[in-house]
Amino acid sequence: MELTTKLLLAAALVLGAAGAGAGPPRSGPIPIVLDTDIGTDIDDAFALALIMKCPELDLVGVTTVSGDTQARARLAAKLLWTAGGHWREVPVFAGDPGPSQSIEQAQWAEIFSSPALHLSGAVPFLRSIIRRYPGEVTIVAIGELTNIAALLRNDPSVVGDIGRIALMGGSVARGYDPGSPPQPEWNIRSNIAAAREVFDSGIPLIVAPLDVTAMLKLDAAGRQRVFGQSKPLGDALAALYRLWGKETPTLYDPMAVAMLVRQGICRSQRCALIVDKAGQTVVVRDRPTNAVVGLQVDPAAFFAFYMGRVAP
């Protein structure tokens, strides 16, 4: 482990209470846009479920990225529709399609339609919503950063109007497996050029890397608690879980939401974080700090928070 990382981890043990908060406390809910590749892994659906259970957040829209973005948009829109009430009015916009990916969960929503569902227009929507709430909107990015980079390229002046970006991505001191070294993480390496643009933009970042996400395994008891509520949202998550077809979900993406909502959910530190040409997130010393980065987490504390919101 390089010296910079060791110093960061040591500092995090002392300064972890600083949490992920950036700037003064807000008087009302934080307006957010969720940018997601929902439908491949199951954790995006669990993240959207958490957002809907956080009164601290005001979900003003959802955009989809990666592969068949229209299928992903249908899926997100149906999950919101299933939750009922005002969630049915949250607009969902598909981004430009990318290379084909497996999206088994899309079967659940393959013929879904609603007035809130838009099968294109993600980047123009992002621009319009950020201009509507200058300096206030947080983009919660839990997929590759293609849409956000396209937004910055199309309208560089929007940088100053984005409040911050809370993202799941990267790897600072460990990889996917316990004891493994840092490695390029999926959301970053899926579009390295886009990630580099976003990390270099100067927009304040809240980063949930593998260091605080790869160990968040939802065990059988937790799954039963979420799926056994006999409520529409729990039933929907159970259906998507079955289509996903694996046993134990890792809740990578909900940590980006949790860091935004709950200060101190993990030990974190402000630092300068860049993406190198190989897609690795690297802490550097010669730049201004641009990110609050999660470094260590107690999984029990995370799941106490998550279950308390999604399956109380």
The C-alpha atoms of residue 105 and residue 6 are separated, in whole angstroms, by 40
Predicted local confidence at residue 95, as pLDDT = 98
Alpha carbons 279 and 143: distance in angstroms, whole number = 14
Q: Which residue from 94, 140, 87 is spatially nearest to 117, judged by alpha carbons?
A: 94
**Cβ atoms within 10 Å of 219's Cβ, excluding its own:** 12
SS3 (DSSP) at 94: strand
Q: So what's the pLDDT on residue 58?
A: 98
Say what the pTM is.
0.92
If DSSP states are collapsed to H, E and C, what string results for 218-282? CCHHHHHHHHCCCCHHHHHHHHHHHHHCCCCCECHHHHHHHHHHCCCCCEEEEEEEEECCCCCEE
Query: What is the pLDDT at residue 230?
Result: 82
The Cα–Cα gap between 46 and 234 comes to: 10
Please identify every stretch of the chain with a pLDDT value under 50, giving residue numbers as ranges: 1-25
Q: According to the model, what pLDDT value does residue 57 have?
A: 98
Residue 126 phi, psi (nearest 5): -55, -45
C-alpha 304, offset from chain centre: 19
Tell me, what's the pLDDT at 309?
A: 98
Determine the pLDDT at residue 229. Answer: 87
- Return the pLDDT at 2: 44
Structure tokens at 73: 């948009």
